[in-house]
Structure 1
Amino acid sequence: MISCESDEICKQIKLFHDIAKLKNDFQKYIRGESENGLYKNHSLLSAYFFLLNSVASELETAFGFLSIVSHHGDVENFNELISSNKNFGRYFELSNELKFWDEVAKNAKNLEIYSEIKTDKTKLLERAKELYMHTLRLKNKFDYNNFIEFKRLYSSLIYADKFEAIFSEKQSGLAPIKTQEFDLYMSQLESAKPNKKRSEFREFVMSNFDINHKLFTLTAPTGYGKTLTALNFALKFNKERIIYALPFTSIIDQTHDVISEIYKDNDDVLIYKAHHKTVIDENTPEDRYSKIKFLMESFSANINVTTLYQLIFAIFGNKNRDNVKFNQLKNSVVIIDEAQAIPYKFRADFIKLCEIISKKFDTVFIFMSATMPIMHSENFREISNLKYFKNQNRYVLKWLDIEQNEENLIEQISQSASEKNTLVVVNTIRKAQELFLRFRDGFCCFCLNGYMYDKHKQDTIKSVKEAINLNKTAGEKPVLLISTQSIEAGVDLDFDVGFREISPISSIVQTAGRINRNFGTQGTLYVFEDICGYSDPIYGDVKLISDNILQKTLLQKCIEEEEILEIINQFFADISTHLEGYLLHKEMKELVFFDINKVIDEVMNDEYKVLVVIEPKTGFAKEFESEILAIRQNENMDKFKAKDMLKNTIKKISKFGVNVSIKDSQNLTLKPILGLKDVYYLPFGDTMYNDSFGLKKDVNLDALNEAFT
C-alpha cells in the first residue's frame, strides 16, 4: 500500500493503520473461527501504535491518528480526539483495546516491516499526554488549509486501503488521455454541422491555454458549445483524469453520452458517470463487479461525469465514501458546468477550498457558465472573450404587463403558440401542470417538471426536440412546452418565443438561452409578474436583489442580449455584497468535520421531501422485493458483494423515483417496499401519476392518466 510517491507522514499512516490486525482475536475472525464482530476492531489500537512511532509534527500526528481511527468510518470533529475516555483524551489508558498492546507488539516484531518499531506502553502514555496538551493549545486556531491537509492524509489512506483490498495490488497512476479521438470528432462535427461562431469561440479559448495556470473561468452565452470547448481545454493539460460536474442528473446522461461517443473505439479510456441513480450492468462477472463499482464511485476513470452535489460533498464532506472521491482530485482537471448553481451561502468557502486544492494537488479548475458569479479572487483567469455577449442579438427580453390577470397571459401564449415554437417557464410544479392541462387540447403541448421521473423527463425532451424539428423542416404544428426551471441548464432545445414568470436574473437568462439558441431569427422572451403566488419564498433574498435591478432595467425598456452581461454582473455583485460570505469560517477554525458536513447537508438537501417510487409496470415492486430477498438469503454470497448488489438494486428502482414534498405525499395511496426502511411506491395505474405531466401536485387536477387507457 505504501506508495513511493507518498510523503513521510503518509507512509507512516499507511504503515501503521492496520497493525492491530495482528491481534490473535482478529486473526481468528478473518479465518472464520469466530463470528464475534468485536474481534475485527483494530483502528484505535493501530492509531496508538502510530502515535508512539510518529516522527511527524504534533499536528500531523494528530491528523494521522484521526485518519487511522476513522479509516473504516466517517470523520468526527477534531476536538473528539481529546474527549475523556476516547482516543488520547483523559483516561484513554482505560481503553479495552490497550489490553491487546503487548500481544500485537510481540506479533509485530516478528515481521520485518515492524521489527524496529517502538512498543513501550509507558512511552505511549507520555507521548499521548504531550499530544493532548498540544491539541488543547490548538483550539480555534485552525484554518481552511488545515482542513484540506487533513483530508489529504485521510483520503489518501482510505483510497489506497480500499483499492488494494479490491484489486489485490497497489494503485498505479493512469496514463494521460490522448487527444487524437477528440480532434477527429471535432473535425467531423464541424464538417457535418459547420458553425462559424462556435468554431471561433473554441479557437479563442484554446489560444488562452496556459499549462502553468490552474484556475479558470469560462464565461460565454448559451449555445456556444462550452461543453466540448471545456473538454478540449482540459485535455491539453495531459492530466490523469477529468472530472466533469453538472448540477442535474438529467443532463449528466446526455453529457456522458456525448463524451462516450468520442471515445467509443478506444477501450483504454474509461468513462464513467457517477450519481445516486447510476447502476452497474447485472451481467457483469462477480470478480469485476466490485472493481467497476469502486472505480465508478471514486472518480477513478479517465473521464468522470458526475453531479455538482457529489463534488461538493467530496470537498466538504466527512463521510468515508466522499473522501475516497476527494483523493482523486489530485492531478486532475475539474470542470464545473453551470457554476452559478453552487449555492451562494457557501460559494466563497467553495472557491477558497478550490484555490487551496489547486495549489496543493496540482489540480486544474474550470468554472463554466453563461451567468458566472463573482469569484472574488485574483487567481482565476477568464479564458473566453466577453465581447461575445456584446455581439449577440439572438433574443430580446421584454416586460409583459398582464395587469394581474392570468387570462391576459393565456391569451398572449395562445397567440404565440399558434404560430411559433413557444416555451413557457413558471416557478411552481402546480402552475406548470395547470397551464399544461389548459393548453394541451388545442396545441402540440408538452410539460416538463420535477414531479416526473427521469425517463419521462428525457422522453419529453426528446419528443419536444423531434417536434420542433418537424415544425421547421416539414411544416408540422408549432410546439408549446410548459416547464418549471428544469429547462434552464444544459437542455439543448431551441424555441422561437418564450414566456418566463419573474425570477432571479440568472434564471431568466438561463431560460433565454433556449430562445433562438441556434442563431436564427431574433426571438423574444417575455417576462411577466408572479402568477403562482410563491415566487418570493421560493427564491428568497436573491429575488429581492434581482427585482431591484429589474425595476431599473427591464421594467423601463427592452433588454437586448448584448446588454445581458452588464446586468448579470450587477446581479452577482449585489449578491456578493449583501448575501455572500464565509459560511464555515467558525467551523474551519475548530475543524469540526462532522459539523461542516451537517451545515452543507442542510443547505443542499430538502428535509421536507421524501422519495416516492412510481411503479412503471404491474408487478415491478414485487419483482424488486424478490431481488432484495434473494440477495439477503444467498448464504454463498460474500457479505460485501451482497451489500454492493443490494445498493445497485436499490439504485435501479430509484431511477423511477420522484422527490415529493411530505405534504403532497400524504395525498397519495402509497405502499411500502418490503425489505427497505421508509421507502414507498405508488402502484402502477394510480391516476395520481400521469406520463405527460408527472405526479399530480393537486388532487383536483381534472386529468386522466392517458398512459393507462
Structure 2
Amino acid sequence: MLIAHIRKSDFEEQSVQQHLEEVASLARRYGESVNLGALSELSGLLHDMGKFTIHFTNYLKKAVLENEIATEKIDHSTAGAKYLYENFYGQNTLQNLVVETIGMGILSHHSGMQNFVQPDFKPSDFVRRVTNDKLPYYKEVVRNFEGIQGNKERVQSLVSEAIEEMEGFLRTVKPHGDLYTYLALMQKLVFSCLIDADRTNTRCFEEAESVLDSNFQSLFKEGYENLMKTVIRFRKSEKPINQLRNEMSEECDIIALECSAIRTLSIPTGGGKTFASLRYALKHALEFNKSKIIYIVPYTTILEQNAQAVRDIIDRQDAVLEHHANVIDDTALDNETDFYDSDVHKKMQLGRDNWEYPIIFTTMVQFLDTFYQKGTRKGRRLHSLTNAVLVFDEVQTVPFQHQSLFSAAINFLQTVGKSSILLCTATQPALDRIEPAIRLPEKAEIVPDLVGAVKAFERVSITSKVESEGWGAEKIAEFTEDLLEENSSVLVILNTKTAVRNVYKLLKENEDVFVVHLSTSMCPAHRKRKLEEIRERLGKEKVVCISTQLIEAGVDISFEAVVRSLAGLDSIAQAAGRCNRNAEKLRGNVYIVRAKDESLSKLPEIRIGGEVTENYILSNPEFRGQLLGPKAIETYFSHFFEQAEREIQIAPKGLNHPLYHLLNGKAAAMQNPKTRSLGMFKTIEQYFEAIDSPTTAVIVPYEDGEKIIADLNDNHYDLTLFNERIKQAQQYSVNLYQHELRKLSETGLIQPLFDGSIYCLKEKAYDLSYGVSLDGLAKVESYTF
C-alpha cells in the first residue's frame, strides 16, 4: 500500500488513495454552496497524486518510524497539475480555464499561490512546472494512479462537470465587467477549499476524529429568539435613546427579508449598531440559510467587547470565536515537504485555523490577509467567507492604499460567494470614488432618514481649540485637570502611543484621580481588564483615560468630556461616540486640540485626515454646529480621497503597478501571456501588507499568558493541547513591529518557540501600566487588580 500519512501516536497508516478521496469529498462540500463543487473536488482528488510512489512511502516510513530527518526535498505537488495539463489542456477556452484553476491550486498547496504571469517577463510559474519533462517519478505516479479502478474515469467526469461550473461562473460575472479580477479571486477560493480540506483531513487522521457536518441554523434561531427578548425590553423603555435604537434595529429586521446584497448601515454613534446589525444577521441567516455570521472590525478592542455583547444577547457563550491575530507565523514552513521532517512543522501546519464557528469576530487586517497575504495558512479561511453574512464595522477604516483590493473582495464575495454584506459606520466613506466601485443596489442604505437620525442622536457639543503651534503634553494634562473640576470623567485620545504615554506620566501623579493608560502595547485581556476597571469607577470617583484611537470605534463606554487630538472627521465622530453615550445629561463636551509632540510622518492617513478636517470642516461656517451631519461627512471624504490620491503611494516600493492591477490583468496584458488566466498571486503576496509596517504577534506573560507560554514551551507532541493553547493565546498577544522585535531580541527579552514560529515575551518586558516594555524595566509585582 502506498502511504500518504502515518499517525505518530499509534503508527496507523492512511493510504494515498484514501487521503485523496476524503480530501476530494470535503473540498466538494466547501465549494458546493457557491457552485464550485466539481472544481474543488477535482483539486482534492489530484492534489497529492505525486505521493503515488514507493519512494515517497519509504521516505515517510523513515521519517516517522525511524525518526530520520529527510534531506531530500520531494515535490509531490506538481504531478496532479501536470497530469491534468497533459490530458486536458488546449482543447477549448472553458476547459483551459478549468485546468488552470485546478492546476494552480494543486501546485500551490504547500507553497502558496504562484503566478500565471511573471512581472519580469520570465516563464510563468504555472507553465514552467506543468511542462516540466524531468519531474522525478512522474511515469510511476501516473501508472499507480490510473492503476486504481475508477480514477481515470472519475477525472474525466469531474472535468466535464467543472466545465459546466466554469461556464456558469463566467455567465454570472460577465455583466459586471472586471472579468480577470473575478477569475483570479475564484481561483483563490478553489485553492482555499483545497487547502482547508487537505489540512482538516490530515488533522482528523492525526487525532482519529471525524469531520463534523456543521449546521448552525438552530443556533441562529435560538439566538434570534433571545435577541427579541431584548427588543421587547427596548420597546418598554421610557428612555428616548432606547426607543431610537429600537427604531434602527426594526429597519434592519425588515431589510433582513430581502435577498442578498451589499448594503450600508449608517447608524450614528451610540445608535446600537452592534445590536441592529446582529438582528439583521441572525434573521437573514435563517431566512436564506447562510452558513456563518462574521463580524470584521478595525480594532481588537471592538472585537473583544462586541464579541462578548453578542454572546450575552444570544445567550450562548460558546458560539463566538474571537480571532485577533495570527499567533503562529508559519509562512517560512510553506514548502514542498510533507511536514514530517519535524514535529514542529507538523504541529504548525495542523493547527486549527479554519473558523469552524457559527459567529466569528475578526479584524480588517485578518480579512485582507485572507485574500492577499502570502502562504497557505491565511488563505485557508477564504471559503468560510462565502454563503455567509458579513458585517463590516467602521468600514471607513480600510487603509487607503488597499481600497481597491477591499472593493474587489467585497464584490466577489457577494456576486460569486453568495454572501450578504453589511457596511456599517456612522461616517460612510465615498464608496463611489473607489476602483472598482462597490456594487451597491439602488437603495443600499438601511436607515431611511439619515439627516433626521443624526439629529435625533445628538448628545454632544464639539468645540475646536486647535492652535497653530499645538499643545505639548503639559498643556493637554493641564487642560484635562481643568475639565475635571466640572466633570467626573475625561477621555483623552491622542494619535500616537508616545504622546499617550507622555500625558499619562503627567496625570498619573494625581492621587485623587483614577488614571488609566490604554494602547495596543497591551494584550486584549489586559485592555479588557482596564476597561472593566474604568466602568466600575465611572460615576463613583474621578476617572481619566488616556488612549490611542483604539478606544474610539465601538467601545461601549461613556465619559462626561472628551479631548481629541486633531484627526479625520470620522475619528472625531467616533471619539464623540464615547461622550455622553447614553444621554446621561443634556450635552457632553468634545474638544479638538492639536497635539504638538505627535510624529505623523509614518501615519499619512491620520495626517491628511487632520488637515482636511481643519481646512474644510472646522473652518467652514456652513458646518458650525453640524460637524457630524451627512453633508459635512460627504465633504470631508471627498477632499480626503482627493488629497490621499495625490500624497499616498499606491504602488508598493519596487513595483511599477498598484497591486490591484496585478489582480485585474492590466499588469499582465503587455506580456503575451501563455495562459488565459492572468493572476499574479505570488507577486501580490510578496508585496502585500495590510498595514504599512508588518507586525508579529507575541504572547505576553500577563495573567493566564504565563501558563500558555509554559505549556507551549513544553515541546511535547499533543496536538489537542497545542490547538487549545493557541486559541487561548489570542487574548494574550501583542502585535510588535520588526524594530521592536529586534530590540527585545538584542536584550534577551523575547523567546522564540517552534523554530521561531511563535514568540513569547519574558516577564520583565511586560508592564502592568503600559504593556510591552522595550527597556526591560516592567513593573511585574502582581498581575491581579
- Of the three residues 112, 124, 128, the one matched with 1:89 is 128
After superposing the two structures, state which structure 1 stretch, 543-552 or 58-67, moved more: 543-552
Closer, same or farther: CA 562–243 of 1 in aligned 2, 3 Å: same
Distance 1:655 1:162 in 2: 26
Distance 2:693 2:500 in 1: 21
Say whether the 8 Å CA contact 1:614–1:658 is kept in structure 2. Answer: no
Residue 592 of structure 1 and its aligned partner are, at CA, apart by 1.3
Q: Quick check: 1:567 aligned with 2:669?
A: no
Distance 1:202 1:650 in 2: 32
Residue 164 of structure 1 and its aligned partner are, at CA, apart by 3.2
Say whether the 8 Å CA contact 2:470–2:593 is kept in structure 1. Answer: no
* SS of aligned partner of 1:112: coil
Say whether the 8 Å CA contact 2:387–2:418 is kept in structure 1. Answer: yes
Residue 334 of structure 1 and its aligned partner are, at CA, apart by 1.1
Distance 2:507 2:743 in 1: 28
Residue 205 of structure 1 and its aligned partner are, at CA, apart by 2.6
Residue equivalent to 2:502? 434
Residue equivalent to 2:440? 379
Q: Quick check: 1:207 aligned with 2:267?
A: no
Distance 1:413 1:163 in 2: 54
Q: Quick check: 1:595 aligned with 2:642?
A: no
Say whether the 8 Å CA contact 1:53–1:117 is kept in structure 2. Answer: no
Say whether the 8 Å CA contact 1:181–1:262 is kept in structure 2. Answer: yes
After superposing the two structures, state which structure 1 stretch, 504-513 or 653-662, moved more: 653-662
Say whether the 8 Å CA contact 1:395–1:561 is kept in structure 2. Answer: no
Matched to 2:431, the amino acid is M
Residue equivalent to 1:13? 43
Distance 2:155 2:227 in 1: 59
Distance 1:183 1:613 in 2: 38
Closer, same or farther: CA 145–255 of 1 in aligned 2, 3 Å: same
Say whether the 8 Å CA contact 2:269–2:577 is kept in structure 1. Answer: yes
Residue 533 of structure 1 and its aligned partner are, at CA, apart by 4.0
Tell me the TM-score normalized by structure 2.
Answer: 0.73
Residue 210 of structure 1 and its aligned partner are, at CA, apart by 4.6
Residue 359 of structure 1 and its aligned partner are, at CA, apart by 0.9
Distance 1:206 1:90 in 2: 52
Residue equivalent to 2:88? 54
Q: Quick check: 1:457 aligned with 2:535?
A: no
Closer, same or farther: CA 510–654 of 1 in aligned 2, 3 Å: closer
Report percent identity of matched pairs. Answer: 21
Q: After superposition, what is the alpha-carbon deviation per residue over 1:656-700, rounded to whole angstroms, capped at 9, x for unaligned?
A: 54626727974994434264666876653x4x754233456899x
Q: After superposition, what is the alpha-carbon deviation per residue over 1:396-416, rounded to whole angstroms, capped at 9, x for unaligned?
A: 211115674545544432121
Residue equivalent to 2:10? none
Say whether the 8 Å CA contact 1:50–1:65 is kept in structure 2. Answer: yes
Distance 2:697 2:212 in 1: 37
Distance 2:546 2:509 in 1: 14
Residue equivalent to 1:182? 224
Q: After superposition, what is the alpha-carbon deviation per residue over 1:279-336, rounded to whole angstroms, capped at 9, x for unaligned?
A: 9xxxxxxxxxx99x97962123211222221111112234312222111222111111
Distance 2:131 2:630 in 1: 60
Residue equivalent to 1:282? none
Residue equivalent to 2:325? 276
Distance 1:220 1:91 in 2: 52
Residue 241 of structure 1 and its aligned partner are, at CA, apart by 1.0
- Of the three residues 175, 183, 190, the one matched with 1:153 is 190
Closer, same or farther: CA 435–707 of 1 in aligned 2, 3 Å: farther
Residue equivalent to 2:180? 143
- Of the three residues 55, 58, 78, the one matched with 1:28 is 58
**What RMSD in Å do the two structures reach over aligned CA positions?**
4.0
After superposing the two structures, state which structure 1 stretch, 199-208 or 165-174, moved more: 165-174
* SS of aligned partner of 1:299: coil
Residue equivalent to 1:544? 608
Residue 220 of structure 1 and its aligned partner are, at CA, apart by 1.3
Closer, same or farther: CA 265–201 of 1 in aligned 2, 3 Å: closer
Q: How does 1:69-468 map to 2 (within 5 A)?
A: 69-79=107-117, 88-89=127-128, 92-97=131-136, 99-101=137-139, 103-116=140-153, 143-167=180-204, 172=213, 174-176=215-217, 177-188=219-230, 191=233, 194=237, 195-237=242-284, 238=286, 239-264=290-315, 270-276=319-325, 297-376=353-432, 377=438, 379-380=440-441, 381-385=444-448, 386=450, 387-400=452-465, 404=470, 406=472, 408-420=475-487, 421-442=489-510, 443-468=513-538
Say whether the 8 Å CA contact 1:83–1:90 is kept in structure 2. Answer: no
Residue 178 of structure 1 and its aligned partner are, at CA, apart by 3.4
* SS of aligned partner of 1:272: strand
Say whether the 8 Å CA contact 1:26–1:41 is kept in structure 2. Answer: no
Residue 100 of structure 1 and its aligned partner are, at CA, apart by 3.5
Say whether the 8 Å CA contact 1:315–1:326 is kept in structure 2. Answer: yes
* SS of aligned partner of 2:306: helix
Closer, same or farther: CA 670–505 of 1 in aligned 2, 3 Å: farther
* SS of aligned partner of 2:42: helix
Residue equivalent to 2:544? 480
Say whether the 8 Å CA contact 2:114–2:125 is kept in structure 1. Answer: no
Say whether the 8 Å CA contact 1:394–1:520 is kept in structure 2. Answer: no
Say whether the 8 Å CA contact 2:702–2:783 is kept in structure 1. Answer: no
Distance 1:401 1:83 in 2: 55
Distance 2:37 2:82 in 1: 21
Residue equivalent to 1:655? 732
Residue 546 of structure 1 and its aligned partner are, at CA, apart by 4.2
- Of the three residues 638, 651, 659, the one matched with 1:584 is 659
Residue equivalent to 2:691? 604
Distance 1:393 1:85 in 2: 58
After superposing the two structures, state which structure 1 stretch, 430-439 or 178-187, moved more: 178-187
Residue 390 of structure 1 and its aligned partner are, at CA, apart by 2.8
Q: Quick check: 1:528 aligned with 2:593?
A: yes
Residue equivalent to 1:131? none
Distance 2:61 2:772 in 1: 52
Distance 2:279 2:732 in 1: 31
Q: After superposition, what is the alpha-carbon deviation per residue over 1:527-579, rounded to whole angstroms, capped at 9, x for unaligned?
A: 112322424x2542553354244334424668436743322221222233343
Say whether the 8 Å CA contact 1:26–1:39 is kept in structure 2. Answer: no
Say whether the 8 Å CA contact 2:394–2:424 is kept in structure 1. Answer: yes
Q: After superposition, what is the alpha-carbon deviation per residue over 1:392-440, rounded to whole angstroms, capped at 9, x for unaligned?
A: 3201211115674545544432121133111111222222222222222
Closer, same or farther: CA 408–20 of 1 in aligned 2, 3 Å: closer
Matched to 2:507, the amino acid is F
Distance 2:317 2:497 in 1: 43
Matched to 1:251, the amino acid is I
Query: Structure 1: 5+ residue runs without aligned partners?
Result: 120-140, 280-289
Say whether the 8 Å CA contact 1:610–1:660 is kept in structure 2. Answer: yes
Closer, same or farther: CA 708–259 of 1 in aligned 2, 3 Å: closer
Q: After superposition, what is the alpha-carbon deviation per residue over 1:146-189, rounded to whole angstroms, capped at 9, x for unaligned?
A: 21121132122222333333346677562435333333234246
Closer, same or farther: CA 548–161 of 1 in aligned 2, 3 Å: closer
Closer, same or farther: CA 175–592 of 1 in aligned 2, 3 Å: same
* SS of aligned partner of 1:254: helix
* SS of aligned partner of 2:522: coil
Matched to 1:89, the amino acid is R
Distance 2:696 2:123 in 1: 39
Closer, same or farther: CA 428–706 of 1 in aligned 2, 3 Å: farther
Distance 2:96 2:224 in 1: 48
Tell me the TM-score normalized by structure 1.
Answer: 0.81
Residue 233 of structure 1 and its aligned partner are, at CA, apart by 0.6
* SS of aligned partner of 2:78: helix
Distance 2:583 2:484 in 1: 20
Closer, same or farther: CA 556–308 of 1 in aligned 2, 3 Å: closer
Closer, same or farther: CA 313–19 of 1 in aligned 2, 3 Å: same
